[in-house]
Amino acid sequence: MHRIFPPPLTDLDLDIAYTAPRVGVDGQPWLMINMIASLDGGTSIDGVSGPLGGPSDKDVFSCIRTFPDIILVGSATAVAESYSSPPTSVSSRASRLTNGAWPTARIALVSASLTFPLDLPMFMRPDQRPLVITTDTADPHKLAKVGEKADVIQAGTDAVDFVQALKKLGELGARVILSEGGSNINGQLIEASLVNEILLTVAPLAIAGNSQRIATGIANSGSTDFDLQQVLTDGHYLFLRYLRSPSTS
């Protein structure tokens, strides 16, 4: 992996490239977003992100996942990508402990309607119960079914309140949270001023089509400034790391 910013240009290991202080404030965990997009801004091909990636992107994806305690994902993305429980290998646990994270990350699926199937791979490991984040007014029957397979967090009335949800995740002991989308989830997190770090892989592809971008939300909702911290490159891919600008904190 080659670092081309900041200077000097150098080769370095991914663990070194992505290791950094990540400390939340005011009871909120540090929140990262990690996404991949094509040159023209698309985040999926035929509904999934996999075709955009290459070997180096997969390595970066795996490395970034060693930092968070909780991996946040919307139900539509979890279904489309057939989410499974995070790895529990000795090497994975060792990397995570070195980074100050829980030995195994927990998946937190976000759904107000609770309409996702409960036979997803992520629900098949009783020893790795995921979290499901939903609303205070979620359907009681669906809630009971979900509660058989996952630990439930309720936050918000008609829609999930991410400020409340992150505070509750912090109360569980989570210090770093990683959002892997989809774009609606990312948009709500950005609009709520909860995002501290954005990690973006730019794939060397132009795909056109009608794929969503990495974050979508309310039109003309303002903007948040981020400062470029790092640019890595490998195999024509760019790997960008941005931190929320102190001026917008």
CA distance 233 to 231: 7
- Quote the DSSP letter at residue 26: T
The SS3 assignment for 101 reads coil
What percent of the chain has pLDDT above 90?
A: 82
Tokens of 55: 């070997």
pLDDT at 148 over 90: yes
Q: Are 149 and 125 in contact (CB under 8 A)?
A: no
State pLDDT tens for residues 69-126.
999 999 999 999 999 988 888 988 998 999 999 999 999 999 999 999 999 999 999 9
For the ranges 12-21, 58-67, 209-218, the lowest mean pLDDT is seen at 209-218
pLDDT score for 134: 98
pLDDT score for 131: 98
Burial class, 77, CB count within 10 angstroms (exposed 0-12 / middle 13-18 / buried 19+)? buried
The residues with which 37 forms a beta bridge, in sequence order, are 202
CA distance 177 to 68: 5
pLDDT score for 221: 66
Tokens of 30: 């540090």
Neighbours of 147 (CB within 10 A): 11
pLDDT at 249 over 80: no
Neighbours of 150 (CB within 10 A): 20
The SS3 assignment for 144 reads helix
CA distance 173 to 113: 26
User: Higher model confidence: residue 114 or residue 222?
Assistant: 114
Q: What is the pTM of this model?
A: 0.94
What percent of the chain has pLDDT above 70?
A: 98
Tokens of 51: 């075709």
Average pLDDT of the chain, as a whole number: 93
pLDDT at 174 over 90: yes
State pLDDT tens for residues 175-186.
999 999 999 999
CA distance 27 to 115: 31
